[in-house]
Structures are given as structure tokens and as C-alpha cells.
Amino acid sequence: QKEVEQNSGPLSVPEGAIASLNCTYSDRVSQSFFWYRQYSGKSPELIMSIYSNGDKEDGRFTAQLNKASQYVSLLIRDSQPSDSATYLCAVNKNNDMRFGAGTRLTVKP
Amino acid sequence: SAVISQKPSRDICQRGTSLTIQCQVDSQVTMMFWYRQQPGQSLTLIATANQGSEATYESGFVIDKFPISRPNLTFSTLTVSNMSPEDSSIYLCSVKKTMESGYTFGSGTRLTVV
């Protein structure tokens, strides 16, 4: 079992729709969770972090964490073509950050 | 978050040669990380570089192949030694200022070995 698992996609949504990205992790004592966006040919950039169960909202982005289910998700509301990228889920325990393989999102105009 | 200058941005190298990648951070950081990202893949941690001590390598990566220097709290280098085409990849350095800020990445070095 991979430490951090994501559907590779591609996930395609129409402009203005909600994009839902999911991630599961294997280590129950993981402490903090991150979502990174990576445009093609660019390095990853942090868009959301979450540490406790529940939802965390930042603009059009909402991160959701359920530690009992070892599940973290990212919702992107009002998706824009500029959101088209690969989204990486990352899980941290004791300064050991592990990344998922990423989900490729395409937002179609 | 920290700003990282990484260079070179890309290079094409002959097999058997070595390439040194540099990362300069605009502020002092305790931990620097070196990752590899192969085409269509996620990030694989090569090693953690701490100032004043030897780097800690992940399983599958060895110091002879990927020597790392960390002379101070703002700078690190990764050398890819005796390169083969299998080393063709993007190499990224990364730092962590605080856990809340997550990791910040350099712009990456796209290496092609021919």
C-alpha cells in the first residue's frame, strides 16, 4: 500500500463547476496535511494546509480532513481554466513529508 | 515563505559526467531537502541536508551517487555523479520555514542525460 494515494485522473470539469480531489494516507499518526498545485514544467506551490479534522476554507479552495478515515480532500469551487494543473497531496509526520502521485485536473471552458 | 534560487534550470549532459545543482535561500533554514521528480511521477525524497552534519539519504539513494553539501544555513548543493540516462529527471530543492508554511520548492533543474 502506498503511503499517500491519489487518483491519477485526469479529472475533467467544466468551468464554474466544483472540482473534488481526494487523497488517502496509510500512517494513522500523520500530523499535518497539504495540497500543492503544480503547473506543467513548474515546481509545486503550496495552496492549502490542514491540521485538524473538519473543513478549512481559503477563497475558492476548501480542504477537508477526516483522520478517522485517513482521508483528506480538496474542493475547488467555481473552477477556472487557470486551475488546470496537477494537484499533489502531501502528508507529514515528524518532518517527514510524503507526496502522492498527484491528480491531473483539467477545467474546460 | 522562503524564496529559493535554484540553478541551473536545465542541462543536457553526457553519460559518465557529473552535474552540481545549487540552491540559495533568501533566509536561514535548518532543513533543506532534495527531491527527484521523474516524468509523470510524484516527488521522491533523495536526502535531507542539515547544516553541520552529513546528509541523511533515503532508501535507494547513496552518497557516492548524490553527494550533498550544506556549508551554511542558506545554501546547499546536490551533485549527480557518473550520470546515466536513468538519471534524467527534474531535481528540486525544498525548505521548510515553519510547519504551517509547508515546504517551499526551488524552480527545479531539468536534467537530460544522453
A-to-B residue pairs, Cβ atoms closer than 8 angstroms:
40
Backbone angles phi, psi at B101, to 5 degrees: -85, -5
Residue A108: band (very low, low, confident or very high) from pLDDT cuts 50, 70, 90: very high
Question: Which residues numbered 40-99 in B keep a CB inside 8 Å of some CB on A?
Answer: 41-43, 45, 92, 96, 99
Minimum-distance CB partner of B106 among A43, A46, A95: A43
Other CB atoms closer than 10 Å to residue A57's CB: what's the count? Answer: 12
Is the predicted pLDDT of residue A1 greater than 70, yes or no? no
The model's pLDDT over B56-102, given as tens digits with 9 standing for 90+, comes to 999 999 999 999 999 999 999 999 999 999 999 999 999 987 766 68
**pLDDT mean across residues, chain B:** 92
Mean pLDDT of chain A: 93
Amino acid at B85: P
- Distance CA(A108)–CA(A80), nearest Å, equals 8
- The rounded Cα B46 to chain-centroid distance in angstroms is 8
Report the residue of A8, A25, A42, A43 to disrupt the B interface, i.e. the one with the largest count of B CBs within 10 Å. Answer: A43
CB of B45 closer than 8 Å to CB of B105: no
Beta-carbon contacts of B111 under 8 Å, excluding residues fewer than 6 positions away, are B10, B11, B13, B19, B80, B83, B87, B88, B89, B90, B91
The answer, yes or no, to whether residue B42 has pLDDT greater than 80, is yes
- Helix, strand, coil in percent for chain A, rounding step 5: 5, 60, 40
Do residues B4 and B35 lie in contact, with contact meaning Cβ atoms separated by under 8 Å? Answer: no
Q: Are residues A92 and B100, on separate chains, in Cβ contact within 8 Å?
A: no
Q: Give the pLDDT confidence score for residue A29 in this predicted structure.
A: 86
Percentage of chain B exceeding pLDDT 70: 97
Averaged over A74-90, what is the pLDDT? Answer: 97
